[in-house]
Structure 1
Amino acid sequence: MDNDRQMHDGDTRPSPTIDRQNQVDRLWDHLEATLPRFEALPGVVGVTLNGGISRGYGDELSEIDVTLYLTDTVHEAWVAGRAPIATGITVVDGQLYDIAVERIEAVEEGTWSETEQWDRSYAEILSDPDGRLAATFDEHLGSPPGLDHAEGLLFDCWWHFELATTCWVHRRDAVQAHYVLSGAVEPLIKSLFAVNEAYLPHEKWLVNLSRSLSWRPDDWETRLQSAIATGDGSMETVHERRDVIASLWDDVDRYARKQADEDVPVRWMQRTFYRALSSLVESEQVPYEKWDAAFGGGLLAMDPFASVARLDGDTVSLDETALDELTADELYDWHYQVVEAVSDRN
């Protein structure tokens, strides 16, 4: 087998930052010696290396993650307990492996999850005699989700540090407030990957790989530690954590809007609402099919659209009078900010 011992020269993907002796070459050597056994198994049409070693790092605690791609009938026999080798966590010639099996047709035809996209974006194709893996990887890994995905992640983060935490601060429950604040950290870090146009890692690697992203907020490491640390668990530390998380969120939000090829005078998490209302104000009438494709029909049941839009047959129409008469006390602040931004633009 001819491999490039990832990471490849010029590779700009996030890579591990670990201050320990990297034993990836030793693990690669073991895999090279073992690979022919996997390739010789009946029904195996492809093999990939996954996991940490494919990302360029391994040590004495690492297993070698290998995925075997099987034909339909062989896969059915293996998952029914008729596999000719042990799968899952197993020891092969003194080395720990994690052997996964996939039905090749399912990989080719199915929708890959967020974590599958990330893991397979690093995967090393070890055996692919018919080119099926190369073809399907090229098809499914066109480009990371990017700025579009950051919108929902930034909302998720905001919901945790602003809405939910505020409730529990008001109710004087510091432990519950800390708990929901912790829920803001994962979408915050994932939004950082999204604005860097990178696939979103599994939580096992999320913090570590964030250190090698091309853009990070200033003093990322120190501020992230403060965002995670609960201190003595007091209400004072709730406020301290929330301030740090909010400031990091603000940095990522501003970066997302700076990178966008459109003017978004609201927070990035409000972009879809802003674009939808702007489109309706500009056109006054939008064919429902076009609206549904761009924004989703369900948006019409949410504010501010529930107050200012009508669905007349196959057309979404703007109620200009209703929009002009909307006041701040009739809408949640989040929604009224969108209305104000659209009104200011027009």
Structure 2
Amino acid sequence: MKKVKYKGKNRYNEFLSAAKIISKKISKIEGVVGILATGGIGRGYCDDYSDLDLIVYVDDKRVKKIEKYIAVGSLIYKDIALDTPVESYQRALKHRSPSPYWSQVMRWDRENSQILFDTEHKIENLLKEKLVYPDWEQKKLLKKYNEGVENHLKYNFEMWEKRGSLINLADSLIKATEYIILWIYAKNKKFQPYLPKWLFYYLENNFVPEAKYSDIIKKVYLNPIKKIIQAKRIRTELIELTKNIGIKFNYENLKDIFKQDGKNWEKASEKTKHYLSW
């Protein structure tokens, strides 16, 4: 397990010890199938701002009864915040992966975890089955994020530059950079972390090769943009970055986009042209 390192005291051992004590007691409740420690314990770093995250898997028929006194939320005991949701093991098993249930964020959370209690290896086998990242999903996400980068770095940026809006130029750069980051994660088949809190998770911890470009990626967040020339300079660096990591654009500039839209009009049906022309 790779341990995330941040400034401040790491209370990991304290959190893990507490989690084991709690898990031992919860495991004796009728219907409990397994207990999974996620969050800071799973990532190897807990501090004063961390929750003690435990996923309690139980038999479906026992969920409502057990969650009444386990999944209560908003509790702090001995300076540790508790987050202990109760989930149906059968429901988790039934849903295919990927799916809305086994989303990227869900898989990221479960991937960074420790099993503290497991009946007949059910949780171990559940994670083996569900923590997958198929090629088709990667292809779909790469396309989605690539389009997001192009939309903000090409179309929106040029549009707001011509309109003379500095704040919207900065916003376009921030949104384009977010898509670049997510594209990098998809390229490396890294599950999307919980956003916006953990957007930089893989980059700042050097978990992906593209972390070497962090200085360029961080510029739009750390350097206040006060002039359009600054925005244009950062944009140029980001475009160069996209070339280096493999992001490809369909258009060079705004004129190309308008030209293509014009061709689309020519290809439209006569019925479409009739109703949408003046």
If the length of structure 2 is used for normalisation, what is the TM-score?
0.78
Bigger CA radius of gyration: 1
Q: 1:45 maps to which residue?
A: 33
Using the alignment, how far apart are the partners of 1:144 and 1:234 within structure 2? 43
Q: 2:118 maps to which residue?
A: 128
Q: 1:85 maps to which residue?
A: 70
2:54–2:85 Cα contact (<8 Å) kept: yes
Q: 1:216 maps to which residue?
A: 210
Using the alignment, how far apart are the partners of 2:225 and 2:129 within structure 1? 49
Using the alignment, how far apart are the partners of 2:239 and 2:41 within structure 1? 35
How far off its partner does 1:240 sit?
A: 2.5
How far off its partner does 1:251 sit?
A: 2.0
Alignment of 1:157-306 (within 5 A): 157-203=149-195, 204-211=197-204, 212-216=206-210, 218=212, 220-229=213-222, 231-253=224-246, 267=248
1:48–1:67 Cα contact (<8 Å) kept: yes
Using the alignment, how far apart are the partners of 1:77 and 1:29 within structure 2? 27
1:34/1:236 Cα in 2 relative to 1: closer, same or farther (>3 Å)?
same
1:180/1:330 Cα in 2 relative to 1: closer, same or farther (>3 Å)?
closer
Q: 1:60 maps to which residue?
A: 48
* Secondary structure, aligned partner of 1:97: strand
How far off its partner does 1:32 sit?
A: 1.6
Using the alignment, how far apart are the partners of 2:258 and 2:179 within structure 1? 30
2:89 is equivalent to residue 96 of structure 1: no
* Secondary structure, aligned partner of 1:66: strand
* Secondary structure, aligned partner of 1:67: strand
Counterpart selection for 2:92 from 107, 120, 124: 107
Q: 2:57 maps to which residue?
A: 69
User: Which runs of no fewer than 5 residues in structure 2 stay unpaired?
Assistant: 251-256, 265-278
* Secondary structure, aligned partner of 1:331: helix
Name the aligned partner's letter for residue 194 of structure 1. Answer: A
**Paired-residue identity, %:** 19
For these two proteins, the number of residue pairs brought into alignment is 249
Name the aligned partner's letter for residue 103 of structure 1. Answer: S
How far off its partner does 1:57 sit?
A: 1.0
* Secondary structure, aligned partner of 1:161: helix
1:273-331 deviation line (CA, Å, top 9, x unaligned) = xxxxxxxxxxxxxxxxxxxxxxxxxxxxxxxxxxxxxxxxxxxxxxxxxxxxxxx9973
Using the alignment, how far apart are the partners of 2:91 and 2:227 within structure 1? 49
RMSD: 2.8
Using the alignment, how far apart are the partners of 1:171 and 1:329 within structure 2? 17
1:217–1:248 Cα contact (<8 Å) kept: no
Using the alignment, how far apart are the partners of 2:130 and 2:71 within structure 1? 29
2:150–2:176 Cα contact (<8 Å) kept: yes
How far off its partner does 1:181 sit?
A: 2.2
2:53–2:83 Cα contact (<8 Å) kept: yes
1:28-56 deviation line (CA, Å, top 9, x unaligned) = 11212221122123332211011122011
* Secondary structure, aligned partner of 2:70: coil
Using the alignment, how far apart are the partners of 1:184 and 1:158 within structure 2? 8
Counterpart selection for 1:34 from 7, 22, 33: 22
Name the aligned partner's letter for residue 129 of structure 2. Answer: E
User: Which runs of no fewer than 5 residues in structure 1 stay unpaired?
Assistant: 1-5, 8-14, 255-266, 271-327, 336-346
How far off its partner does 1:144 sit?
A: 6.3
Name the aligned partner's letter for residue 249 of structure 1. Answer: T
